[in-house]
């Protein structure tokens, strides 16, 4: 039991090379699925044991922090771990047929290898308590993501340039992050997150610290597609294999949001005006612009996956907005939305993958009238779309409800109005799909493949869960609220209680 | 000395940082401005290397020796931790470069060029030249594209 935090990372890390070495597609898929489910079970166990507010601190290799690398699990980490491993568990069964139809058979084993490495990296980022370790895991996940995106070249060669551009932007982001860490190390002489938090509070404000803060902000901003830094995202999501898009959209940006929250709230804190001002006068406007600009661009897209990708940029805007309120309620909204959006966007991208499986195209024009012959997939898409808009009884409503409450709490009612207004933009692009699917005539010559059950079941599973968490939000909201408490309030009290 | 003169201490005392800044900006500029994909990667490598130098030079302590334990308690050591961190970062950099070069080979195979503007032109041709009628706003978008 006490080695669970290490197992969480080691299991997928060890399974990845085995997949590549054995090289048989079915075996690689089986092992990856098994590992994903085992990881999910581990993260549920971890979540249950830290739910009451205890903090698990695990010394990697027996070296005590702050010198050794520490794995540190609190409510927030465990919640993010659960999102990542849970989404992997849902994507794996889906990937079997989807990957088989989109990639050449010789690539399958390597696909699952890269997939497991990506999952390892994301979970490592979430679980580690060491700032430099975050960078290493971030790059493990990013490098495998570039490879995964490039595998979409079997369907469309533009995946290669998408992966290349992502690599350039992602590496610049990661390097900025390292520069920021370097500045923080200059000021404090430590890299352990808990230690950093205390030393930054003790050392006082300095220009080096401010530069470190800014570099970390921009670096992570690139990784999470913060509005003007989102340019890599639409192409990467559009041309990657469907299973990869589903996985990335529901986990990669969420983990980056987690890193942002962890660095902003737990490490830097808001003792100094510079940090708080940056959040409220730079991040908040950018988040608002993202909500409107990205949603507007989404309306004009001709490709379903690209439309959903732009919608993701807008949804990241909601998460950053919640964070930039700098209140407990705002952070709660961010964490809840991380979870809810993972379910909704995961389901929607799975539906897009089903359309691609059926008609081998994700162009909206090629999907005309499919509502009649693909009732299950189309209905799932509409259900996910409702969640995206934030209709009551869906998970998206819960997120927006808390986001608006957070705005009202600060008496920032114009922002609450803007949240509603931007949701109306989502109505337009979701309605556009409804119109194409249900109100257009099916072309006379159609060549529609039946979508297998292994793809339909995970998709419906995710979307039904999103409805479940929309109706009874107690579990998610209470977990998110405790996670927000862990981050804000007295970040120092939080860090001291565990160590 | 009047205040308006350059503070020479700031220049000479931190010369390692100034060198790093120059190298960093050179690398970043090459990455952003060059159209040739290989040159982009060269720029990215310069950019990363400058960060390695930032870390390594920051671990140096005046009069400090190599961090090998000696019996003399008066020995001053340089800080070895930044160096170790950079070993890891170098490995990450190599992996990134290798992956980028592999991608460039694949791009050359399927596009026949590694110039960003020629690739962009080929990609525009793949996009449907005739925008879909389901979206009335496409006429507007087409006009914006035409003007660019």
Question: Which residue of chain A has the CA closest to B131?
Answer: A302
Q: Do B103 and A167 touch (CB under 8 A)?
A: yes
- Best of A150, A167, A215 to disrupt the B interface (most B CBs within 10 Å) is A167
Question: Which residue of chain A has the CA closest to B112?
Answer: A157
Q: What pLDDT, on the 0 to 100 scale, is given for residue B75?
A: 82
What residues have CB less than 8 Å from A192, skipping those under 6 apart? A65, A66, A67, A70, A129, A130, A131
DSSP-derived secondary structure for A150-176: HGGGGT-THHHHHHHHHHHHHHHHHHH
Residues of A in contact with B110 (CB under 8 A): 153, 157, 160
Q: Do A302 and B85 touch (CB under 8 A)?
A: no
Q: Three-state DSSP class for A70?
A: strand
pLDDT at A142 over 90: yes
Instruction: Report the complex ipTM.
Output: 0.89
Please say whether the beta carbons of A251 and A138 come within 8 A. no
Q: How far apart are the first and last CA of chain A?
A: 19
Short-list A86, A172, A151, CA closest to A122: A86
CATH architecture of B8-147: Orthogonal Bundle (1.10)
Is B28 near chain A, with CB under 8 Å?
Answer: yes
User: How many domains are contained in chain A?
Assistant: 1
Per-residue pLDDT tens for A122-132? Answer: 999 999 989 99
Per-residue pLDDT tens for A373-428? Answer: 889 999 999 999 999 998 888 899 999 999 999 999 888 889 999 999 999 999 99
The mean per-residue pLDDT over the stretch A211-215 comes to 92
Q: Three-state DSSP class for A345?
A: helix
Question: How far apart are the CA of A48 and the nearest CA of chain B, in angstroms?
Answer: 34
- Best of B99, B111, B113, B125 to disrupt the A interface (most A CBs within 10 Å) is B99
Per-residue pLDDT tens for B96-106? Answer: 999 999 999 99
What residues have CB less than 8 Å from A69, skipping those under 6 apart? A59, A60, A61, A63, A128, A129, A130, A133
Residues of B in contact with A175 (CB under 8 A): 47-48, 51
Question: Which residue of chain B has the CA closest to A440?
Answer: B134
What residues have CB less than 8 Å from A329, skipping those under 6 apart? A402, A405, A406, A409, A484
CA distance A354 to A348: 10
Residues of A in contact with B89 (CB under 8 A): 135, 178
Short-list A50, A183, A146, CA closest to A482: A50
pLDDT at B12 over 60: yes
Which of A36-40, A181-185, A226-230, B144-148 has the weakest average pLDDT? B144-148
- In whole angstroms, how far apart are CA A157 and each of A125, A169, A439, B123? 31, 20, 32, 9
- Best of A128, A146, A168 to disrupt the B interface (most B CBs within 10 Å) is A168
The mean per-residue pLDDT over the stretch B20-45 comes to 93
Q: Give the residue extent of every domain in chain B.
A: 8-147
Q: Do A302 and B48 touch (CB under 8 A)?
A: no
Q: What pLDDT, on the 0 to 100 scale, is given for residue A497?
A: 40
Put simply, the chain B residues between 85 and 104 with a CB less than 8 A from any chain A CB are 85, 88-89, 92, 95-96, 99-100, 103-104
Using CB atoms, pick whichever of A143, A185, A440 lies closest to residue B99.
A143
Which domain does A386 fall in, by range? 4-498
Which of A63-67, A224-228, A327-331, B79-83 has the weakest average pLDDT? A63-67
């Amino acid at each position: 039991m006490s080695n669970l935090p290490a197992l969480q990372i080691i299991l997928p890390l060890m399974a990845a090379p085995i997949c590549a070495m054995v090289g048989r597609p079915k075996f690689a898929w089986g092992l990856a699925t098994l590992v994903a489910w085992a990881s999910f079970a581990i993260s549920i166990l971890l979540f249950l044991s830290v739910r009451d507010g205890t903090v698990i601190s695990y010394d990697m290799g027996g070296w005590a922090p702050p010198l050794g690398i520490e794995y540190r699990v609190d409510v927030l980490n465990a919640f993010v771990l659960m999102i990542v491993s849970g989404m992997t568990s849902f994507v794996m069964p889906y990937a079997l047929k989807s990957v088989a139809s989109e990639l050449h058979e010789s690539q399958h084993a390597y696909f699952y290898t890269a997939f497991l490495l990506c999952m390892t990296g994301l979970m490592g980022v979430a679980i580690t308590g060491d700032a430099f370790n975050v960078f290493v895991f971030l790059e493990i996940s990013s490098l495998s993501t570039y490879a995964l995106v490039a595998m979409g070249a079997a369907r469309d060669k533009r995946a290669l340039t998408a992966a290349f551009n992502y690599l350039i932007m992602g590496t610049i982001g990661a390097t900025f992050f390292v520069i920021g860490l370097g500045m923080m190390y200059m000021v404090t002489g430590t890299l352990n997150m808990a230690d950093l938090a205390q030393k930054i509070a003790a050392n006082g404000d300095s220009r080096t610290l401010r530069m470190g803060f800014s570099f970390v902000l921009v670096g992570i901003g690139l990784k999470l597609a913060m509005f003007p830094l989102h340019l890599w995202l639409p192409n990467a999501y559009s041309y990657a294999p469907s299973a990869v898009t589903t996985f990335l959209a529901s986990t990669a940006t969420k983990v980056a949001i987690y890193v942002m929250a962890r660095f902003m709230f737990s490490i830097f804190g808001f003792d100094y005006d510079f940090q708080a001002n940056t959040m409220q006068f730079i991040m908040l406007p950018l988040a608002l612009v993202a909500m409107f600009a990205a949603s507007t661009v989404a309306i004009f897209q001709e490709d379903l996956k690209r439309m959903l990708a732009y919608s993701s940029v807008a949804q990241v805007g909601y998460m950053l907005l919640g964070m930039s309120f700098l209140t407990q309620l705002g952070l709660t909204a961010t964490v809840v939305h991380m979870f809810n959006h993972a379910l909704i966007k995961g389901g929607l991208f799975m539906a897009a993958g089903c359309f691609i499986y059926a008609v081998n195209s994700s162009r909206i024009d090629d999907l005309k009238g499919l509502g009649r012959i693909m009732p299950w997939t189309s209905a799932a898409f509409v259900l996910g779309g409702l969640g995206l808009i934030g209709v009551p009884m869906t998970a998206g409503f819960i997120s927006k409800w808390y986001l608006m409450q957070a705005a009202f709490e600060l008496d920032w009612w114009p922002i609450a109005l803007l949240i509603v207004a931007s949701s109306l933009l989502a109505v337009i692009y979701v309605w556009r799909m409804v119109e194409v699917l249900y109100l257009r005539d099916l072309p006379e010559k159609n060549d529609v493949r039946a979508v297998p059950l292994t793809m339909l079941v995970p998709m419906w599973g995710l979307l039904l869960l999103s409805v479940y968490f929309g109706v009874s939000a107690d579990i998610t909201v209470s977990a998110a609220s405790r996670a927000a408490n862990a981050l804000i309030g007295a970040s120092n009290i939080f860090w001291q209680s565990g160590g | 000395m009047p205040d308006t003169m350059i503070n020479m201490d700031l220049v000479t005392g931190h010369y390692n940082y100034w060198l790093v800044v120059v190298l960093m900006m050179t690398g970043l500029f090459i990455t952003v401005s060059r159209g040739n994909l290989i040159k982009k990667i060269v720029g990215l490598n310069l950019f990363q290397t400058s960060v390695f130098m930032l870390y390594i030079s920051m671990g140096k302590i005046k009069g400090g020796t190599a961090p090998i334990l000696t019996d003399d308690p008066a020995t001053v050591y340089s800080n070895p931790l930044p160096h170790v961190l950079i070993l890891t970062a170098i490995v990450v950099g190599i992996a990134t470069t290798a992956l980028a070069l592999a991608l460039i080979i694949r791009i050359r195979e399927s596009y026949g060029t590694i110039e960003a503007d020629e690739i962009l032109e080929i990609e525009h041709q793949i996009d449907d030249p005739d925008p879909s009628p389901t979206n009335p706003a496409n006429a507007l978008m087409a006009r914006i594209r035409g003007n660019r």
